[in-house]
């Protein structure tokens, strides 16, 4: 594969259990509660780790995401915001 064009090289896959989903949320947010249910369910199914962060206790996160709450990151990269699509999250964690 060393001589293969970078366009045709596949990225090495990462096992689901090595993935990290971060839910950025705030207290009293019903969309955040809905997103957490989806994140818990999908991560539980595929074995991925997940964490939550609160924008009300982190000024940097607040400044970056306050208009998009809830926000879901996969391995530190923004995956989605407002509503979490279960199938799309599962696909991101298993491919």
Residue-level pLDDT at 2: 54
Residue-level pLDDT at 9: 44
Contact 84/73 with Cβ under 8 angstroms? no
Residue-level pLDDT at 10: 44
Residue-level pLDDT at 15: 77
Give the pair of three-digit tokens for residue 72. Answer: 């879901």
Residue-level pLDDT at 89: 98
- The parts of the chain modelled with pLDDT lower than 50 are 1, 4, 7-10, 12
Q: Which domains does the chain have, with CATH numbers?
A: 17-94 (3.40.30.10)
pLDDT in tens, 35-53: 999 999 999 999 999 999 9
Beta bridge partners, 21, equal 50, 74
């Amino acid at each position: 594969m060393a001589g293969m064009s970078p366009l045709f090289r596949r990225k090495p896959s990462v096992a689901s259990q090595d993935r990290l989903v971060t839910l950025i949320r705030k207290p009293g947010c019903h969309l955040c509660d809905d997103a957490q249910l989806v994140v818990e369910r999908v991560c539980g199914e595929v074995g991925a780790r997940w964490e939550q962060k609160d924008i009300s206790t982190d000024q940097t996160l607040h400044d970056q995401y306050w208009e998009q709450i809830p926000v879901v990151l996969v391995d530190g990269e923004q995956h989605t915001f407002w509503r979490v699509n279960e199938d799309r999250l599962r696909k991101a964690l298993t491919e």
